Chains A and B, each alone.
Chain A
Amino acid sequence: MNKSVEIRWHGRGGQGAKTAALLLADVAFKAGKYVQGFPEYGPERMGAPITAYNRISDTPITVHSNIYEPDYVVVVDETLLESIDVTKGLNKEGAIIINTTRCVEEVKPLLNGYEGGVYTVDARAISIKALGKNYPNSPMLAAAVAVSKVMDKGEFLNEMRASFQHKFAKKPEVIDGNMMALELAFEEVG
């Protein structure tokens, strides 16, 4: 990759779309990239639609506006498909990744005729299998990396393991579960 990749995240307040965007910025930063991770702030309340963004580049980034023509869109909450035009401005050469139990053919009619790549991930099932709880964040982050290829899988997993080891220093038992969630998401969109 030798260009700027722009990613837009759609989620609902409390689901961690903003955290996922910041985590992606983190891991790409550790892989040597220039990064931006930022949320669009409105009245913050649980369940309200929220948008977050990433720019990831090999060269310094100066633009400070929101992203209107993203290369990739990640939808953390599929109920947003009915209320928000999630593919607005989305690059036809890019892709959309949706957290859903449905298959690609089932969600395509909801995407306003979007012609690019469509990927689905059952982040809830993955999270429950790997962690016993619904944390859609980690699987969606892995799916975003797998589809956008902003960094390679081995590098991503190494960096994530290091950051989980730091984050869960007092709860090492959850590290393997989190790593498994990432692996499963990679497989699902791979």
Chain B
Amino acid sequence: MAIRERLSGNEAVAYAIKQINPDVFPAFPITPSTEIPQYVANYIANGEIDTEFIHVESEHSAMSATLGASAAGARALTATSSCGMALMWEELYVAASDRLPIVLALVNRALTGPININADHSDSMGARDSGWIQIYAETNQEAYDNFLQAFPIAEHKDVHLPIMICQDGFITSHGVENILLVEDDLVKDFVGEYEPEHYLLNAKEKMSVGPYAVSNYYMETKRAQRQAMMNAKRVILDMAEKFEKMTGRKYGFFEEYRMEDAEYAIVIIGSAAGTCKAAIEQIRATTGKKVGLIKIRVFRPFPEEELAAALSKVKAVAIMDRCEMFSATSGPLGAEVRAALYQAKSDVEAVNYFYGLGGRDITVQDFEDIYNRLEKIAETHEITDMYSYIGLREK
């Protein structure tokens, strides 16, 4: 029987870490990190787990120490947020290219400036090209469930890539919600023991991690990294299936909500998907209009063909970005979903809206307005606001 609890997103991830009892957890124990290392430090101090906690002097060092531990053969993780992640930048690429199965618990918050601490996807979206697997959550439950699946995905022999498990700052990280926890012994069985094939502390196999690669080798390394990311797609689905067998909770690359007959769709990442679901229920109940939602769970690897197929029957779609990329055109999700539609030779009308930057709230009413816009676009085929904002004050 699952354990009925109520936890904040930070507490939920810390609890997952406790259940997994990883080997090494280096972290910078202050803002901009999260409450996660703090809770885990309590578990360690209370003797509930024997993870080695390393206090480091910065987030740059946090990821460096995690790299070292992982290369040595340990199951290693760290946690951060916002500018903390920005300070890890160099090491993010090292972790991916060294093929280290590190898990990063990331709480998505805005990057400075202006200084802002609230929910925004700028931090992880900026790192989307670093070679990390990225999985996002709508709820505390999903943040917890995704975290349980993280090590098995990252450590799989066909993958061997670092993975970041993302959730929205404050909205889920500090919000308390109902959650179903998995029993300790089931978690232990699911996550298993980490037995690396190759690792630095193996005296029988001398190896080097992170050497210099001249032009004659670099490109092949990158190709191998790409293969790992491609392999990750299958492994992510396999783990989701295994997880569903254990808990009954179903996961995939994305969630399709009321998409079976949807004519107007929204594509979104994170906590606002729940607010959108409430709008969908309201619209369907009061008007019968066929509205639906695709909530992206896995952004890296990007499920291009699957998304295009899921959107193939809609008349219009709004792709929602919770961060800017200042291309002066699309946001990151907007650009990639549009590319997916183009590749699939889709003729669906697609618009890209920015919302929720720096924690700006988005409401059920906002989503109702977006569906109204989509209906109009589908009727007139006139798009006057291809890259527009939701909830922006114009005066």
Chain A interfacial positions (CB closer than 8 Å to B)? 22, 25-26, 29, 34-39, 41, 60-66, 68
Is there an interface contact between B175 and A38, defined as CB atoms closer than 8 Å? yes
What are 28 A-B pairs at a CB distance below 8 A?
A22-B176, A25-B6, A26-B6, A26-B176, A34-B178, A35-B6, A36-B175, A38-B170, A38-B175, A38-B176, A41-B118, A41-B170, A41-B174, A60-B178, A62-B274, A62-B275, A62-B277, A63-B364, A64-B138, A64-B172, A64-B175, A64-B271, A64-B274, A65-B272, A65-B275, A65-B362, A65-B363, A65-B364
Is there an interface contact between B274 and A63, defined as CB atoms closer than 8 Å? yes
Besides A64-B172, A65-B275, 7 more A-B contacts (Cβ < 8 Å) are A26-B176, A36-B175, A38-B171, A41-B170, A62-B274, A64-B138, A65-B363
Residues in B whose Cβ lies below 8 Å from that of A60 = 178
Is there an interface contact between A63 and B278, defined as CB atoms closer than 8 Å? yes
Is there an interface contact between A61 and B361, defined as CB atoms closer than 8 Å? no
Which single residue of chain A is at the shortest CB-CB distance from B170? A41
Query: Does B385 lie at the interface of the complex (its beta carbon under 8 Å from any beta carbon of A)?
Result: no
Q: B residues 239-292 with Cβ under 8 Å of A? A: 271-272, 274-275, 277-278
Residues in B whose Cβ lies below 8 Å from that of A36 = 175-177
Residues in A whose Cβ lies below 8 Å from that of B178 = 29, 34-35, 60
Is there an interface contact between A64 and B171, defined as CB atoms closer than 8 Å? yes
Is there an interface contact between A68 and B363, defined as CB atoms closer than 8 Å? yes
CB of B278, distance to nearest CB on chain A (Å): 5
Residues in A whose Cβ lies below 8 Å from that of B274 = 62-64
Is there an interface contact between B361 and A38, defined as CB atoms closer than 8 Å? no
Is there an interface contact between A61 and B174, defined as CB atoms closer than 8 Å? no
CB of A163, distance to nearest CB on chain B (Å): 12
CB of A62, distance to nearest CB on chain B (Å): 4
Which single residue of chain A is at the shortest CB-CB distance from B280? A62
Residues in B whose Cβ lies below 8 Å from that of A22 = 176
Query: Does B228 lie at the interface of the complex (its beta carbon under 8 Å from any beta carbon of A)?
Result: no
Residues in B whose Cβ lies below 8 Å from that of A37 = 175-176
User: Complex Cα distance A61/B271, Å?
Assistant: 12
CB of B69, distance to nearest CB on chain A (Å): 32
Residues in B whose Cβ lies below 8 Å from that of A26 = 6, 176
Which single residue of chain B is at the shortest CB-CB distance from A28? B6
Is there an interface contact between A62 and B278, defined as CB atoms closer than 8 Å? yes
User: Complex Cα distance A46/B190, Å?
Assistant: 45
Q: How many chain B residues touch A (Cβ–Cβ < 8 Å)?
A: 24
CB of B205, distance to nearest CB on chain A (Å): 49
CB of B266, distance to nearest CB on chain A (Å): 14
Contacts between chains A and B (CB distance < 8 A), count: 57
B 102-133 to A, binary, CB cutoff 8 A, 1 in contact else 0: 00000000000000011000000000000000
CB of B59, distance to nearest CB on chain A (Å): 21
Is there an interface contact between B117 and A41, defined as CB atoms closer than 8 Å? yes
Which single residue of chain A is at the shortest CB-CB distance from B272? A64
B 167-193 to A, binary, CB cutoff 8 A, 1 in contact else 0: 010111011111000000000000000
User: Complex Cα distance A65/B273, Å?
Assistant: 10
CB of B292, distance to nearest CB on chain A (Å): 14
**Smallest CB-CB A-B distances: 8 pairs:** A38-B175, A62-B274, A29-B6, A64-B271, A37-B176, A65-B363, A62-B277, A63-B278
Residues in B whose Cβ lies below 8 Å from that of A66 = 361, 363
Q: Which residue, of A35, A37, A65, has the highest number of chain B Cβ atoms within 10 A?
A: A65
Which single residue of chain B is at the shortest CB-CB distance from A32? B4
CB of B82, distance to nearest CB on chain A (Å): 13
User: Complex Cα distance A165/B177, Å?
Assistant: 23
CB of B129, distance to nearest CB on chain A (Å): 28
The verdict on A61 contacting B177 (CB below 8 Å), with A26-B6, A68-B363 known, is yes
Which single residue of chain A is at the shortest CB-CB distance from B366? A65
The verdict on A35 contacting B361 (CB below 8 Å), with A29-B6, A64-B271 known, is no
User: Complex Cα distance A61/B141, Å?
Assistant: 12
User: Complex Cα distance A68/B275, Å?
Assistant: 14
Residues in A whose Cβ lies below 8 Å from that of B363 = 65-66, 68
Which single residue of chain B is at the shortest CB-CB distance from A22? B176
CB of B33, distance to nearest CB on chain A (Å): 16
Residues in B whose Cβ lies below 8 Å from that of A39 = 170, 174
CB of A59, distance to nearest CB on chain B (Å): 11
Which single residue of chain B is at the shortest CB-CB distance from A29? B6
User: Complex Cα distance A61/B177, Å?
Assistant: 9
B 140-155 to A, binary, CB cutoff 8 A, 1 in contact else 0: 0000000000000000
Residues in A whose Cβ lies below 8 Å from that of B176 = 22, 25-26, 35-38
